[in-house]
């Protein structure tokens, strides 16, 4: 009898419902440093290739 009561406790029900609002994930990614570095490298290469112009 005790086992029947214990078994009913373990067979519970789990309800999962979807949220009303969409899930929002905010990503703040800073790519400015990489872009500036690349532009700096390109400028340096251009100056080296065209020393007479500068």
Tens digits of per-residue pLDDT, 14-31? 888 888 999 889 988 776
23 or 32, which is more confident: 23
3-class SS shares of the chain: helix, strand, coil, % to 5: 50, 0, 50
Look at the pTM and tell me if it is higher than 0.85: no
3-state secondary structure of 45: helix
H-state helical runs in the chain = 2-10, 32-49
Residue 54 pLDDT grade (very low, low, confident, very high; cuts 50, 70, 90)? low
Q: What is the mean pLDDT of residues 40-44?
A: 83
| Cα 19 off chain centre by | 21
């Amino acid at each position: 009898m005790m086992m029947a009561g214990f078994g009913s406790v373990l067979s519970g029900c789990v309800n999962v419902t979807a949220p009303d609002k969409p899930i929002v994930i905010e990503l703040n990614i800073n790519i400015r440093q990489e872009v500036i570095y690349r532009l700096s490298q390109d400028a340096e290469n251009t100056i080296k290739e065209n020393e007479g112009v500068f």
